[in-house]
């Protein structure tokens, strides 16, 4: 059973909220799928003043959390391309690119949110 604390944590990650207070927004533009300025972030939380980029190059590590999201979204299309006898490889590969185009803001923003929640807890830096 998921505790209330963990539930709030997951809600904070998906809602792209501050990992410390779960109230301030991580990104300037709200929503998981935003195309213009998708990676524009606040430097500090507007509510609790937690610094988001806790060290130079901090967000490079978010590639580790974005990659599994990419795999999760693209893997079914890859399997279809490899093993579907009726569709052939090109239709699933085309769908793979379309899915990537529409989902890449989600991959990047959610990857950053998971990354920062991994390093900053409710009581600040772990
Ligand atoms: Zn905050």
Residue 6's pLDDT is 72
Compute, in angstroms, the gap from residue 44 CA to the centroid of ligand 1: 8
Q: Residue 15 and residue 59: Cα distance in Å, rounded?
A: 18
Compute, in angstroms, the gap from residue 48 CA to the centroid of ligand 1: 4
Count of structural domains within the chain: 1
Compute, in angstroms, the gap from residue 19 CA to the centroid of ligand 1: 7
Residue 111's pLDDT is 96
Compute, in angstroms, the gap from residue 50 CA to the centroid of ligand 1: 6
| Structural domain span for residue 59 | 4-125
Mean pLDDT on 46-51: 94
Mean pLDDT on 92-120: 94
- Give CA separation, 54 vs 41, 116, 118, 119, 121, in Å: 13, 9, 12, 9, 13
Compute, in angstroms, the gap from residue 16 CA to the centroid of ligand 1: 11
């Amino acid at each position: 059973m998921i505790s209330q604390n963990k539930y709030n944590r997951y809600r904070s990650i998906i809602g792209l909220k501050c990992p410390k207070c779960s109230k301030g927004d991580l990104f300037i533009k709200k929503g998981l799928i935003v195309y213009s300025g998708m990676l524009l972030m606040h430097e500090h939380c507007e509510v609790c003043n937690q610094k988001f980029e806790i060290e130079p190059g901090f967000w490079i590590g978010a590639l580790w959390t974005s990659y599994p999201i990419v795999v999760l979204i693209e893997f079914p299309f890859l399997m279809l391309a490899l093993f579907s006898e009726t569709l052939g490889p090109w239709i699933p590969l085309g769908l793979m690119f379309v899915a990537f185009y529409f989902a890449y803001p989600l991959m990047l923003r959610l990857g950053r949110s998971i990354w920062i929640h991994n390093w900053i807890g409710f009581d600040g830096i772990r």
